[in-house]
Structures are given as C-alpha cells and as structure tokens.
Structure 1
Amino acid sequence: MTASAPYDLLVIGGGINGAGIARDAAGRGLRVLLCEKGDLAEHTSSASTKLIHGGLRYLERYEFRLVREALAERERLMRLAPHIVWPLRFVLPHDAGLRPAWMLRLGLFLYDHLSRLRALPGSRSLRLTRDGVGAPLQPRLTRGFAYSDCWVEDSRLVVLNALDAVERGAVLRTRTAVESARREDGAWTATLYDTVTRRRDSVRAKVVVNAAGPWVGQTLLQTLSVEARPKVRLVKGSHIVVRRLYPGDQAYILQQPDRRIVFAIPYERDFTLIGTTDVPYEAGPGPVGISVEETRYLCACINRSFARSIGPDDVVWSFSGLRPLYDDAAESASAVTRDYVLDLETEGPPVLSVFGGKITTYRRLAEHVLEKLRPHLPDWKPAWTGQTPLPGGDMEEADFDRFLRRVAAQYPFLPEATARRLARAYGTRIARLLGDAASLADLGETFGGDLSAREVDYLVREERARTSDDILWRRSKLGLRTTRDEVARLGRYLSAAGLQRP
C-alpha cells in the first residue's frame, strides 16, 4: 500500500476478537489488514473451556448486562454457526455445604429469563438419586438442577471469522508480526516482519485496532509507543483431558469450597474435558503450560463430586492460556470481570485497544469497536454479522441433524464417525473438501485417525494451516488420536509442500 492508498484498518491479533473485527469491517466495505504473529487462535482463543454461555456465575457479581448480552449472542450463534455451536445440557449438583439451594434456583430463574429468546430448554430441579445423570456422582449428592448452554469449537470459530473476512476483501497475514508503528502524515506507518520468509515491509493504515490479547498492553507501549491507560490483568486458565469419565451427553458444573466452579464436559467422543483454573499471572505474556498444582486442583475438584477418582496419571492432554482481563481491582483472579473495555486514543491517527472480553460476545464486541471508530473512517454499510451465517453455517433452518443425513447419503463411503466429524468441522463446505471423491481411497494418504491428505490439502489451501500443530490441535483435535510416527509423517508431508520445516 502506498501513502495515498492506505488500509482503513490495521488489526493486530488473530484471536477471536481480531478475527471478528476484521470480518465485520470487511463486510462493511472497509479496507482491512489483519496481522497475527503466529497461527490463528494460537494462544488464548484456542485455550477456552469451549462454551458459548451467558455466564451463570456472573450473576453473583450482578453483571446483568454482560449476562443478557451473552445469552442473546448464544441464541444468535446457534443459528449462524450450527455446525460448530450446539446445545449442551448441564447438571449442577447441590452441595449442602456451599451455596444454598434457594440461591441456585433464583440464579437459574434469572438465567432463564434474562434472554428474550428461549431456543433452549429451561432449567429444572433434579433428584439425582432417581435421575440417570446422578449415577456418576457420589451418593451424598442427592439434589441438583439442570440448565442449558452451548458448546463451541473455539479455534474453528476464529478460523471461520478470518476466512470470511478474507472472502469479503480483507488481507490476512499470519506469522507476521507488527514490529513497530508510528504516526506519520495523518496515518499509521507500520513495519511488518514475516517470520517465515524473514522479510520486512511497511504498510499504512488510517486506524490501528490493537486486539493483541495478552500482548495488548505491550503492543500499546512498545509497538505503538502509546502510553497505556487501562491496565490488563493476566489470568492463567488451565484444563485437563482424561478418558471419558461417564456415559451420556450431559456436562457437569461443580461448585468448589473456594467458591469457584469447574466444568466436566464430554469431549471428542472418548474423553472428558475438565477446567478451568484461575491463577494470577505476573510474568510477561507468552506460551504457558499447566502446573503440577493446577493439575492436582482439577483432579481434586472431580474427586470431590464424582464416584470415580482420577489423578495426574489419568491426564492424556492439558492446555493453558492467558486471559487478558481488564484490571478492575478485584481481589481474586476469579472475581475479575469478563466484560470488555474498549479504549480509544485519538491524539493523532486513532488506535483502539481491546481489553478483556469472552468468546461468546466477540461479535457484539466487534460491532461496538466499529461504532466507536465511525467518526474516524469513511461511510460504510450497516451492521450485518447478526444475520449472516459463518462459512459452512448456511444449512437449512440451521438444522445440523438434517444436514448430516444429507452428507451421509451423498458420501456413503464415509464411516459414520468421519462423516459427523467432517460435517461438524466444515458444515456446508464439506463439498469443497471432498470434491468428487467416491471412495476413501480418493482421499489419499491418511495420517492417523481419519485425517486424509485431501483434508490436509484443504486446510493448507483454504484455512492457512502450515504446521502439524495447526492441523492437529487448532483446525481439529485429532492430535488426541495420532501417534508420534503419524505426526512425523504429517510433518514430512507438509515439508514436501514447502510449509513446515523438518
């Protein structure tokens, strides 16, 4: 881009907020450049508890606006992305030593009624000694409640937003760091560094959106040389995955003596996802891992409520991420607000920084960002993302089960589990992936699980995947079913294509 033709927006950060902002802006006709120094969703956005939810526990802190907005977005995302967002029923056992039953009933009543739409079943009381969902729990837990929220494939949500942004005209540069940016001649001039080619170039933009997640403060101070006003508070959240703990599709939300809650959720058909922790993090932003103490804590949470005990040796995988929360001076990490704060600095060409937020409300956050930037950018089209499905989500009446039946009829050679996985991951774009395939052999070499060369090629071509981790842990979770030899073979395949270095 030349000085006379800058981008309207330079978005820094390829997590859910950056991708959502880029998509919304591109769809309104703005010229957008989205830069991510690693892979899409490589950090915080792929390390969530993978829920689209209103935030039942936020009611204790009277965050009614956040809960109401999140519940409205929950209903909307079920319609716009039915392949990667689907209903999940939660069981909340009542522990007599913790919150009283009347408080739980009141909270669930509010949760049911804060949303104007009721696409999901409401809450109800349970006799755990009579209901099958109580069977995995300890006998002392005799009463409970059930309510509804949604599951989301978090990293795929990011990828689909970024993909749609590109298809609407945005430029996406992954593995490209914004090294520095300065205000010059009424615009921002940014130096970009491509970590693959190791080349630098410059671009110009009218406005910078700093959606760098855990790096938001660092980006303001060091990259943009802007004094940071609001503060970011980093909180580490970790999860563990174990072999399936119980039968059924229900999830459990477990109260803890420290007043936190921990989820146990069916995961990837054969596993249970357990999380999350809330640990204050004082070091600088970067990759993080689970600690021994966090692993023990999550195991103890399960052992406090489930009949079956687990220990650290039962953990087959774990993941951790840093949540860049807005520092509201709360005493404990778990009490820090999950609401977002947008800070606009206009002493020269504007920069807007995103603090906090949760994956459920990313779409509304993007709309609010553009509302704040309206005085600083040319006229654009009205808000549109609330009615337009994400890529692959344009299925009749948002009915995934009906769509899956069509996939099974169209591709009868696919094993049932493979058909379901591909339909979930790609929705109506499964046809772009499978093309004219008429047999499993047409899909080419396999790399463990049911990952085929044709799927790998699609992920490289359409979704910017470059490495084994991009494919096995972010575009999918097939890493749970892949051996070291298979990972190495996938790496060699990517290297032969000039992507992953051996």
Structure 2
Amino acid sequence: MAMDRFHVGPIVVLGAGINGAAIARELALQGADVLLVDAEDLAGGTTSYSSRLIHGGLRYLEYAEISLVRESLAERDRLLRLAAEMVHPLELVIPVGNRLSGLISGAQRFFLKSGAAPKNGRGSLVVRLGLTLYDRFASGAVPSHRRITSAQFAESGLNAKKFFTAFSYFDGQLTFPEQFVLALVQDAQAAAKEQGGAFSLRTYQHVRREGETLFFSSIHPNQESAGNEVAVTPAAVINAAGPWVDAALAGLNVSSAKLIGGTKGSHLISRCPDLRKALGPRGVYAEAADGRPIFILPWNDACLIGTTDIRYDGDPAEAVADDEEIEYLIDATNAIFPDVGFTRDDVQQHYCGVRPLPAVGQGTTSSITRSHVVHRHEGTPFPLYSIIGGKLTTCRSLAEDTVQVVLPDLHQTVEHNSRERPLPAPYFGDTPADAELLPDVNIPVAHAAYGIEHLAAKTLADLVERRLMLVFDPHLSRQCLHTLGEQLATAGWLDRSQIDDEVDNYVARLQKRYGKRVS
C-alpha cells in the first residue's frame, strides 16, 4: 500500500469493511488525505459474512421504506453497470401458495411498522403488487418480473403441495464482497494519485487517544508492537466499524448512547447435487415457517442458503452458526424442495456475521430499518462521526452521503463523486499462463505473493478468506496452507519455525468458524 506521507490533518476512517473502504474512496476522489484503519483485516467483519446479494430490498416495501428501496435499486443498477466484473444479474423465483394471504398483515406493516408475518405466507396479490412497485422504481437495467408458466413451475422442483405458482424477478449477486473491498481500496489509491491527496491503509492496529491526537500501534498476532506507535492529529474521524461502532467509541474514550443493536445472520454452503440440479441457474426467495425471508442461491459452483436474523449482544468476532440455526435453514430448504431430502450431511460449510443495525427496543428484527445514518458526535476533541447501518448494495451512496456531511463541516467543498466511476475487479499482478500454482487449488502462487506485498495480507486468514477466496474451495489442503505460510514467512509476517503451528491453529479456526474440514 501507499507509504504514509501525511501532513497534519488526515481524515481517519476506522473500519476497513465495505462501508469504510467506500468512504475512503469517496474522500480520495475529493483530494482529501485519508488514513483507513482496521483492528484486523480488510473486509474481516460483516462484509465477509453477508448473503452476497446486490438487491433493492423487496421486503423493505412492506415497511414503507420507499426511499430506501429507490436508493437500493439505483445503486444495484449502477453496480451492475460500473462493477460488471464483480456484480452480475441473478434471476430469483418467489413461490406462492395462495392468492390473498398477507393483505391485512402487510397493510399493518406498511402503515403501522408492526404486525406478524402471515401464517400462510404472502399471497400472489401481495407478491405481484410488491414486484410491480419494484419494477416501477428501478431503471430497467434488468428484466421486469413475470409469472412463470405452469410447465416451468411443474419442472421447478418446488413443493407443489405448498405452492401453486411462482414469480420471477431479477436482482444482482456479488460473488465475493471481500474482493469488492480490495477493488475499492485499489481505486482509492488511484483516486488519491489523480487528485493529489494521500491515502494510506493500516490493518491490525490498536488505537488510543490523548487529547486531540490518535496513536496507532501494531497488534499483528505474530509481531511485537513495541516501538511501532504512530501519532496522528486527525482533521476528522469517521467511525465505520460496523457492529464494533460502540466498541470503537469506547476505545476513543468517547461517551455515547448505544448506537448499534446487531442481529446475527447465518448461512449454509452446500454442494448437494440434487439441490444444485433443482435450483438450476435461478435463486429462490421464499419464506421459512416463521415468515422470515429465506434465500437459496446458486453461488460459486455451490448453493448458498440463508439467512437467520437473531438479536446478538456478544462480540461479533465470536458469532458462529449454531445447531439451531443450521437446522432451521435445513428445514426451510426441505419445505421448499422436499424431493431433495436435504440433510446435515449435505452442508459442507457455514458462516455467520453480525449486521450493524441501529439499536432499537423490542420488536421483530425484520422491522429494523436497513437504512444508514451518519451520526455526528458533539463535544469531541475533533469532528467525529459514526456510521450506523448500511448494507452491501448502498455502500457507494452511503459513502457519498458521508462525504457530503463531513467535508462541509471542515469548510471544504464536495466537487466529485463516484456515481459514474467504473470499479474494476482487484488487480493481482501480471501472471504468466504457466505460473506455478498453489498445491491442490488452481491459484498462482504469485497471487499470494502479490496479496502480501501490495494488498496488505498479513496472515493465513487474510490470504485464504479475503484475498484468494480459498476458504470456499473444497480442495483446500494443509499442503496449500503450508505453502501460503512460506510466502508469509518470506515477507516477514511469520517466522518459519511457526509455520506448522500456524497451519494447525488455522485448520482449527476453519472448523470452528466455518465448519470446514481440511486435511
């Protein structure tokens, strides 16, 4: 990454997930000096554990969040156009079991922002109305919704005892949000060069505050931090730490009411042949027995099933999919595709993250707004803002909104935006066709070396889960991990005597966090 070359007064962005990276990019487009900081790795939190959809939020219509749906659809269509290497259209099918169900409960949610999901699911009239509004608010970048034919329904494998028809519509899919964040960071570097600003990234950092000064020091798990402290007097601080927003404020010794009330969302990954065949190229958007929306998606040569939505007050880093959630998603899958006979043995992996939603009182988690807020803190030693909420789809518009709040406060004008700026896939260097490959996977060793040297990868998890995306490769092996460990050792991030222990520890992490077995 770029060398630190700051004068006094960079804007510090805390949190290098998709929102923090998008904010850093938007600031760099203004020529601002930007320091992007994270306590762990790029995209190491909620970003990596999402449903990987770029969508307009069809269900937000039920809660009358019309402006959020409009914004999300505009951003969906923009990303399909400007980030086409990473975001692609995905057809989704909504099966329905009756015609009238959900009219009354839907009206309660629309007008009163409350009310339980219909016991018999949302009927065809409600679904058709929602999809019609959805199409009207969109720009026409994807085909409009349609009702599938009787023959298509008969061939779909959907539960004919539960459903009588289905509707088709399109949204977008972002296969790897982790690499989308890399692309944002690389483009922030490019924008800084174009506009004459400074951009720097620091991962695995502890931050403390003394008066108006922030002190950063390394907390890399395999290196000592002594003597590595850097002092920065920020022009402003933007707290984009996601579910750790409150923890970040506490670390800065800033008193604040609780801002985040996270909910836990778990997903399953399956390569079950019968489920993949039943699903085909389309995803399914249906409802579990409790009315919660469920996605079953074709993804990365597998099927992605999610998600749960459970209030969570623990450390987001410790959130894992528990047995109850896994069985819930299995049951929901079998209710949709009963002939598949989906079981726990068909689940190859799982993952879980915490959504950074606003703290609210009692009520259903699905009713908590997915819109974002740029919260100004008063009485702080430097301008301080916390980002509440947000989602993959609206990361760019969230960043634009944030810059339009922060820069005027600093008596600076906003002269540029990223509305028409293309976002190419991340660059991993020029690699010859006959390049050496990592053992057991079809990835060049040079990509790992590039990720370490230029993309801030410092641990096995950084490489496997967020640079090379090998965490989802069924052929990932200990031998491959050992080779990656050797690359880290060559770069000085790991002692060679530690490689075997590091691989053992990482294999245990994969089993605990992802349910993934590596031999």
- TM (normalized to structure 1)? 0.85
Matched residues in 2 for 1:476 and 1:136: separation?
34
Deviation at 1:167, TM superposition (A): 3.0
Partner of 2:399: 366
Deviation at 1:50, TM superposition (A): 0.4
Matched residues in 2 for 1:368 and 1:475: separation?
28
Deviation at 1:492, TM superposition (A): 2.6
Tell me the amino acid that sits aligned with residue 430 of structure 2.
L
Specify whether residues 100 and 361 from structure 1 end up closer, same or farther in structure 2 by C-alpha distance, changes over 3 A only: same
Partner of 2:89: 87
Specify whether residues 168 and 500 from structure 1 end up closer, same or farther in structure 2 by C-alpha distance, changes over 3 A only: farther
Matched residues in 1 for 2:88 and 2:135: separation?
18
Partner of 1:33: 35
Which residues in structure 2 correspond to 1:280-319 (within 5 Å)? 280-306=311-337, 307-319=339-351
Deviation at 1:260, TM superposition (A): 0.8
Structure 2 contact 449–487 (Cα < 8 Å) conserved: no
User: Please, which of 259, 264, 285 is the counterpart of residue 253 of structure 1?
Assistant: 285
Matched residues in 1 for 2:489 and 2:413: separation?
42
Matched residues in 2 for 1:433 and 1:468: separation?
23
Matched residues in 2 for 1:13 and 1:166: separation?
17
Provide Cα deviations, 1:273-303, integer angstroms capped at 9, x if missing partner: 1001111112244232110101000101101
Tell me the amino acid that sits aligned with residue 363 of structure 2.
E
Partner of 2:235: 206
SS in structure 1 of the partner of residue 276 of structure 2: coil
Partner of 1:357: 390
Tell me the amino acid that sits aligned with residue 191 of structure 1.
F
Partner of 2:310: 279
User: Please, which of 152, 169, 172 is the counterpart of residue 150 of structure 1?
Assistant: 172
Structure 1 regions of 5+ residues with no counterpart?
393-425
Identity of aligned residues (%): 33
Provide Cα deviations, 1:401-453, integer angstroms capped at 9, x if missing partner: xxxxxxxxxxxxxxxxxxxxxxxxx4xx47x332xx2x42xx12423220111
Partner of 2:356: 324
User: Please, which of 136, 143, 147 is the counterpart of residue 121 of structure 1?
Assistant: 143
Partner of 2:254: 226
Which residues in structure 2 correspond to 1:234-253 (within 5 Å)? 234-244=262-272, 245-247=275-277, 248-253=280-285
CA RMSD after TM alignment: 2.2
Matched residues in 2 for 1:206 and 1:104: separation?
48
Matched residues in 2 for 1:329 and 1:147: separation?
34
Structure 1 contact 93–253 (Cα < 8 Å) conserved: yes
Tell me the amino acid that sits aligned with residue 470 of structure 1.
D
Matched residues in 1 for 2:181 and 2:22: separation?
8
Specify whether residues 500 and 48 from structure 1 end up closer, same or farther in structure 2 by C-alpha distance, changes over 3 A only: farther
Structure 2 contact 448–487 (Cα < 8 Å) conserved: no
Matched residues in 2 for 1:391 and 1:277: separation?
32
Tell me the amino acid that sits aligned with residue 53 of structure 2.
L
1:74 aligns with 2:98: no
Specify whether residues 289 and 490 from structure 1 end up closer, same or farther in structure 2 by C-alpha distance, changes over 3 A only: same
Tell me the amino acid that sits aligned with residue 246 of structure 1.
R
Structure 2 regions of 5+ residues with no counterpart?
99-119, 193-197, 500-519
Matched residues in 2 for 1:381 and 1:334: separation?
35
Structure 2 contact 153–165 (Cα < 8 Å) conserved: no
Matched residues in 1 for 2:128 and 2:362: separation?
26
Deviation at 1:125, TM superposition (A): 0.6
Deviation at 1:380, TM superposition (A): 4.5
Provide Cα deviations, 1:386-405, integer angstroms capped at 9, x if missing partner: 1111234xxxxxxxxxxxxx
Structure 1 contact 329–336 (Cα < 8 Å) conserved: no
Structure 1 contact 38–174 (Cα < 8 Å) conserved: no
1:343 aligns with 2:367: no
Structure with bigger strand share is: 1
User: Please, which of 412, 422, 427 is the counterpart of residue 379 of structure 1?
Assistant: 412
Specify whether residues 462 and 179 from structure 1 end up closer, same or farther in structure 2 by C-alpha distance, changes over 3 A only: closer
Partner of 2:466: 474
Partner of 1:162: 185
Matched residues in 2 for 1:497 and 1:181: separation?
31
Structure 1 contact 6–203 (Cα < 8 Å) conserved: yes
1:334 aligns with 2:348: no
- TM (normalized to structure 2)? 0.83
SS in structure 1 of the partner of residue 75 of structure 2: helix
1:22 aligns with 2:24: yes
Deviation at 1:134, TM superposition (A): 4.3
Provide Cα deviations, 1:311-343, integer angstroms capped at 9, x if missing partner: 222211111111110124350222211111111
Deviation at 1:110, TM superposition (A): 0.6
Provide Cα deviations, 1:149-198, integer angstroms capped at 9, x if missing partner: 000121111111112222333433343324222443xxxx1011212341
Specify whether residues 27 and 447 from structure 1 end up closer, same or farther in structure 2 by C-alpha distance, changes over 3 A only: farther
Structure 2 contact 28–199 (Cα < 8 Å) conserved: no
Deviation at 1:132, TM superposition (A): 6.5
Tell me the amino acid that sits aligned with residue 34 of structure 2.
V
Structure 1 contact 302–309 (Cα < 8 Å) conserved: no
Structure 2 contact 183–424 (Cα < 8 Å) conserved: yes
User: Please, which of 428, 436, 445 is the counterpart of residue 453 of structure 1?
Assistant: 445
Structure 1 contact 90–251 (Cα < 8 Å) conserved: yes
Partner of 1:192: 216
Tell me the amino acid that sits aligned with residue 141 of structure 2.
A
Specify whether residues 45 and 151 from structure 1 end up closer, same or farther in structure 2 by C-alpha distance, changes over 3 A only: same
User: Please, which of 422, 436, 443 is the counterpart of residue 444 of structure 1?
Assistant: 436
Provide Cα deviations, 1:59-91, integer angstroms capped at 9, x if missing partner: 111111101000000011112211100000001
Structure 1 contact 287–321 (Cα < 8 Å) conserved: no
Tell me the amino acid that sits aligned with residue 458 of structure 2.
R
Q: How many residues align?
A: 453
Tell me the amino acid that sits aligned with residue 360 of structure 1.
T
Partner of 1:65: 67
Matched residues in 1 for 2:158 and 2:468: separation?
31
Deviation at 1:375, TM superposition (A): 2.8
SS in structure 1 of the partner of residue 318 of structure 2: coil
User: Please, which of 482, 485, 499 is the counterpart of residue 493 of structure 2?
Assistant: 499
Deviation at 1:212, TM superposition (A): 0.8
Partner of 1:266: 298
SS in structure 1 of the partner of residue 235 of structure 2: strand
Tell me the amino acid that sits aligned with residue 231 of structure 2.
S
Deviates more, 1:193-202 or 1:260-269: 193-202
Structure 1 contact 433–458 (Cα < 8 Å) conserved: no
Tell me the amino acid that sits aligned with residue 16 of structure 2.
G
Which residues in structure 2 correspond to 1:129-144 (within 5 Å)? 129-131=150-152, 134-140=155-161, 141-144=163-166
Tell me the amino acid that sits aligned with residue 424 of structure 2.
P
Which residues in structure 2 correspond to 1:170-185 (within 5 Å)? 170-184=198-212
Matched residues in 1 for 2:411 and 2:181: separation?
27
Matched residues in 2 for 1:172 and 1:483: separation?
34
Structure 2 contact 452–491 (Cα < 8 Å) conserved: no
Specify whether residues 70 and 272 from structure 1 end up closer, same or farther in structure 2 by C-alpha distance, changes over 3 A only: same
Specify whether residues 182 and 333 from structure 1 end up closer, same or farther in structure 2 by C-alpha distance, changes over 3 A only: farther
Structure 2 contact 377–384 (Cα < 8 Å) conserved: yes
Partner of 1:420: none
